[in-house]
Amino acid sequence: MTPVSRQKVLGLYRKIFRIAKKWQSASGQMEETMKEKQYIINEAKTLFQKNKNLTDPELIKQCIEECQARVEIGLHYRIPYPRPVSWNVRGVDLFISGPIQNILFPVADHFQWYFYREVLEMNLHF
């Protein structure tokens, strides 16, 4: 990792923890605020720990850009969770958010119907 990349990564890490410290949930409820603060901290620790051994400059740059985008989207919408994904599969709209989104999001388009069928079989309600 170049010194410039290292500075950017450490700066983003500190920025996320400052955001978490000042975070207020959209509902204004203390319980929800604490839950969201903890999510922000855990998500940052997990993702930064997972990517700490990256050496490819392009991959590091991509991770930095993704992190910056998530921070901006989270601050704009006041939602710390990843943005919901919307798919239209054979005329049926699927809105996915939460933990299952992390499983489905990276999947290529030609697999959508397979995963849609799996979701229906699991009787999940979105």
> Is residue 126 domain-resident?
no
In a shared domain, residues 41 and 95: no
Judge whether 108 lies within some domain. yes
Tell me how far apart the alpha carbons of residues 66 and 58 are, in angstroms, rounded to a whole number. 12
Q: Kindly state whether residues 36 and 60 are assigned to the same domain.
A: yes
Statement: residue 110 has pLDDT above 90: no
One domain for residues 51 and 70: yes
Q: Please report whether residue 37 resides in a domain.
A: yes
Question: What pLDDT, in 10s, does the model give residues 4-49?
Answer: 889 999 999 999 999 999 999 988 999 999 999 999 999 999 999 9
Q: Is 55 left (phi over 0), alpha (psi -120 to 50) or beta?
A: alpha
Residue 34 shares a structural domain with residue 69:
yes
pLDDT for 5 = 87
Q: What is the pLDDT of residue 95?
A: 54
- Tell me the pLDDT tens digit for each residue of 68-87: 988 998 998 888 887 665 55
Which pLDDT score, from 0 to 100, does residue 79 have?
87
Indicate whether 35 and 95 sit together in one domain: no
Task: Give the pLDDT score at 11.
Answer: 95
**24 assigned to some structural domain:** yes
Residues linked to residue 93 through DSSP beta bridges, in sequence order: 88
| Residue ranges making up the domain that contains 57 | 3-77
When comparing pLDDT for 19 and 92, which is higher? 19
Same domain, 17 and 54: yes
Say whether both 73 and 100 belong to one domain.
no
Residue 71 sits in the same domain as residue 109: no
Q: Which residue has the higher pLDDT, 44 or 110?
A: 44
Q: Are residues 68 and 101 in the same domain?
A: no
Instruction: Let me know the angle formed at the C-alpha of 90 by 81 and 118, rounded to the nearest 5 degrees.
Output: 60
Verdict on whether the full-model pTM lies above 0.85: no
Lowest model confidence (mean pLDDT) among 60-69, 84-93, 99-108: 99-108
Domain count, the chain: 2
- Domain match, 32 and 71 both: yes
Region 119-125: what's the mean pLDDT?
Answer: 49
